[in-house]
Structure 1
Amino acid sequence: MNVIVSAVDRIYANPSMAVAALWISATTSEETPIRVIRRAPDRITEFGAGRFVSDTMMVDVRVADLPDPHPGDLIVVGADSFTIQGEPTRDRERLIWSLDLQPT
Structure 2
Amino acid sequence: MSIFAAAIETLFADPDIARDATWIADGGNPVLVRVVTRRADEVTGFGKARMWSETTRVDLRVAEVANPRPGDRIEIDGDAFLIQGEPLRDRERLVWTVDLRPG
TM-score relative to the length of structure 2: 0.95
Aligned residues: 103
2:10 is aligned with 1:10: yes
Which residue of 2 is the match for residue 22 of structure 1? 22
Q: Distance in 2 between matches of 1:47 and 1:99?
A: 22
Residue deviations 1:42-89 (CA, integer Å, cap 9, x gap): 121223322111100000011001111000000000110000000000
SS of equivalent residue, structure 1 residue 87? strand
SS of equivalent residue, structure 2 residue 86? coil
Which residue of 2 is the match for residue 71 of structure 1? 70
2:57 is aligned with 1:41: no
Structure 2 residue runs of 5 or longer lacking an equivalent are: none
1:19 is aligned with what amino acid? R
2:33 is aligned with what amino acid? I
SS of equivalent residue, structure 1 residue 85? strand
SS of equivalent residue, structure 1 residue 94? coil
TM-score relative to the length of structure 1: 0.94
- Alpha-carbon RMSD across the aligned residues, in angstroms, is 1.0
